[in-house]
Structure 1
């Protein structure tokens, strides 16, 4: 997924990190390669170009990795690489976490370490968001999927990739990146459906077939003291959100909370919300999130389900909006002007929904966990996305990768024949719990905020 950066942007890599430099270079190359822009709804198939992939791996990536996502190196823990090498020549689906939209960079680097080419299931909007550079994603193996709806082209292509067995497949089961590296969105059960279609076709041909899911946990860890960087990041937000001459605060945590209150004040004013004095910050945040979610659901005529966990509710709305945004507009008898207007309205709702996502970092449960450098910078990043429209990475990190035990689809085949939904849910939950446990263990690599410097 990443023509090196865009695919690394997989399910939406907002210009999250100085991507303009990279996209300027890729845009120039794309302009020479692709002269015509495809319709916005067109499926983007993978077009692996081994020569171009080699160029990206050995020329572009070494330059861009420390510049764009600010990753100086990728470390695979323990015998992780050997575990993956033992699966060479087999059909494999890699299922990493996807917190900040830079994980695709890490997966591309992992393909280099293994000497393999991957294919990457990539959200449809990525290809449009970075046109013309987005067109080059296909050359490194990315192909598109419209989330939250049956995408026959994506299903067929995934089946073909797995049946051919030439390239490993990378799928990010969370579907969206919310920007919190210590949080894991629930995995979508549909990932097993992709695999079982290929598996059943292969069984009819060969009988004894193995198709492996491999869970991966990716953790970004700052490699230097971040005291001065944190101060600069806070000053940048304070310059935008606080009036000049506003009294200073003693600690980074106090400054962060003050910024959170200022950001919330601005959002409440924008949405016409007036809260009584003395309401706790966490209650105000929860109210704003619920307001945005309920208004979005009402605009889409979707029955809201407040009993479900917040990430699932937000993801359902994102998927519903994507269905409108990427719906075909060339069908016979369709009112094209009406469809275009609905698309514009859906894009506006999508942007508003980002506010609910950005406020997740100010959740009381998240703030009350041990505050590490990485967690603190995640929250700053969400504030930056809300205020400036994009996140900035303020320090050099390393990406630490932990490889879980492979899960053989063959072991679920009998269950799938009897209860398809149950088998798919069990596969999804097993992968999710494994990645969650590995992420928790990797969090020990992070420094508590108080020990910075």
Structure 2
């Protein structure tokens, strides 16, 4: 298998897919795009510019939403996507519509180098999901990884060396938010009932109580799997239990593989490093212990699935979307389903935050590279969150 899958953008295939994308979006993905004309006009005015699009990543279908946006504009986008997606016919299709791979959990030099080269080209429109993976939460944004902004400045530096001029490069925070189109009470009830039956949990009085009972059973199962005292756990607040689990499971996996996380690494970065190390060790060892391999792999799936979860997410705003965000996570764990089917017809709203021309920060970047990248990355994340909050 190659170390890197480059894009092989086919303009005719992209245009054909764009023409049928609204039908496929509504029919297969149960998804309709809602975007303000003013936002489309702002993007059209940048048609001849280098553009870096930075959306949040609440679901597995976000790239479909962004592709629908490209169809509205009648222009192709490039997409940075996880290496694991580039297998078989799906991988070839993704390459043909402009996607290319990145290996998460290590410095993927080939992908980084290609991204810098791509951003040096005029009229490039590149989509990077800067959270680094799905949050599975419709209303909150995880920390942005700094690589996108860093690579953009590297591309600008190279252009400046070649031409003597600092180019424009526009970073655009994009907020994606989903809303179900119909009444979801029956879907919520049916989803809860399936989980209750599977876990042998009695039905409580209200949907929220039912959700907590199911989640409590799953949480207790995690704690039992990793050897925590159930009596002591019951006395702890849920958020403390969740954080303790994440910390202990991460530490256990890293010890098993003999790796040390870099200082200040996020959970997601540490998990990707664990997965990469696990695969490397398994490929190098013909006598791999399958039970050990599967236990660590399962632990990483759980960590990513519940990375952004916290007690109170549904209670503070009990919308159908928040209920189903949480239930989808529980279904993935209980039924071992990677991508549960959409629960109903949805609108996906796309709203642009304030567009930033990175050229205006280039001098600051040259003087204080690390600080400038960190500050701009956090500013872009906050802009995405602000529009979600609105």
TM-score by length of structure 2 reads: 0.90
Match of 2:364 in 1: 415
TM-fit CA distance, 1:181: 1.6
Match of 2:188 in 1: 230
> 1:346 & 1:416 partners in 2: Cα distance?
43
Deviation readout 1:196-233 (Å, 9 max, x if unpaired): 12111212233141111011000001111111111111
Please tell me whether the aligned partners of residues 111 and 118 of structure 1 are also in contact (alpha carbons under 8 angstroms): yes
2:31 is equivalent to residue 58 of structure 1: no
2:239 is equivalent to residue 279 of structure 1: no
Please tell me whether the aligned partners of residues 261 and 281 of structure 1 are also in contact (alpha carbons under 8 angstroms): no
Among 92, 103, 113, the alignment partner of 1:135 is: 92
TM-fit CA distance, 1:303: 4.4
2:268 is equivalent to residue 315 of structure 1: yes
TM-fit CA distance, 1:286: 3.6
Match of 2:45 in 1: 86
> 2:287 & 2:153 partners in 1: Cα distance?
36
Please tell me whether the aligned partners of residues 176 and 348 of structure 2 are also in contact (alpha carbons under 8 angstroms): yes
Please tell me whether the aligned partners of residues 361 and 367 of structure 1 are also in contact (alpha carbons under 8 angstroms): no
> 1:137 & 1:120 partners in 2: Cα distance?
9
Judging changes above 3 Å, is the alpha-carbon distance between structure 1 residues 323 and 285 closer, same or farther for their aligned structure 2 residues? closer
Match of 2:80 in 1: 121
Deviation readout 1:174-213 (Å, 9 max, x if unpaired): 1011311222110111112211121112122331411110
2:348 is equivalent to residue 399 of structure 1: yes
Match of 2:205 in 1: 250
Please tell me whether the aligned partners of residues 222 and 395 of structure 1 are also in contact (alpha carbons under 8 angstroms): yes
Please tell me whether the aligned partners of residues 56 and 175 of structure 2 are also in contact (alpha carbons under 8 angstroms): yes
Match of 2:9 in 1: 48
> RMSD over aligned Cα, in angstroms?
2.6
Please tell me whether the aligned partners of residues 58 and 137 of structure 2 are also in contact (alpha carbons under 8 angstroms): yes
Please tell me whether the aligned partners of residues 47 and 123 of structure 2 are also in contact (alpha carbons under 8 angstroms): no
2:309 is equivalent to residue 356 of structure 1: no
TM-fit CA distance, 1:387: 0.9
Please tell me whether the aligned partners of residues 156 and 166 of structure 2 are also in contact (alpha carbons under 8 angstroms): no
TM-score by length of structure 1 reads: 0.78
Please tell me whether the aligned partners of residues 204 and 210 of structure 2 are also in contact (alpha carbons under 8 angstroms): yes
Please tell me whether the aligned partners of residues 92 and 169 of structure 1 are also in contact (alpha carbons under 8 angstroms): yes
SS at match of 1:185: coil
Deviation readout 1:359-405 (Å, 9 max, x if unpaired): 45762242442211111110001101111222332111100010112
Q: Which structure 1 residue ranges, 5 or more long, are not aligned?
A: 1-38, 330-334, 442-453
Judging changes above 3 Å, is the alpha-carbon distance between structure 1 residues 118 and 361 closer, same or farther for their aligned structure 2 residues? closer
Q: Which structure 2 residue ranges, 5 or more long, are not aligned?
A: none
Judging changes above 3 Å, is the alpha-carbon distance between structure 1 residues 286 and 417 closer, same or farther for their aligned structure 2 residues? closer
Please tell me whether the aligned partners of residues 189 and 428 of structure 1 are also in contact (alpha carbons under 8 angstroms): yes
Among 66, 70, 76, the alignment partner of 2:35 is: 76
TM-fit CA distance, 1:295: 1.3
Please tell me whether the aligned partners of residues 267 and 307 of structure 2 are also in contact (alpha carbons under 8 angstroms): no
Match of 2:385 in 1: 436
Match of 1:269 in 2: 224
> 1:170 & 1:133 partners in 2: Cα distance?
19
> 2:219 & 2:93 partners in 1: Cα distance?
39
Once structures 1 and 2 are overlaid, which stretch shifts more, 313-322 or 376-385? 313-322
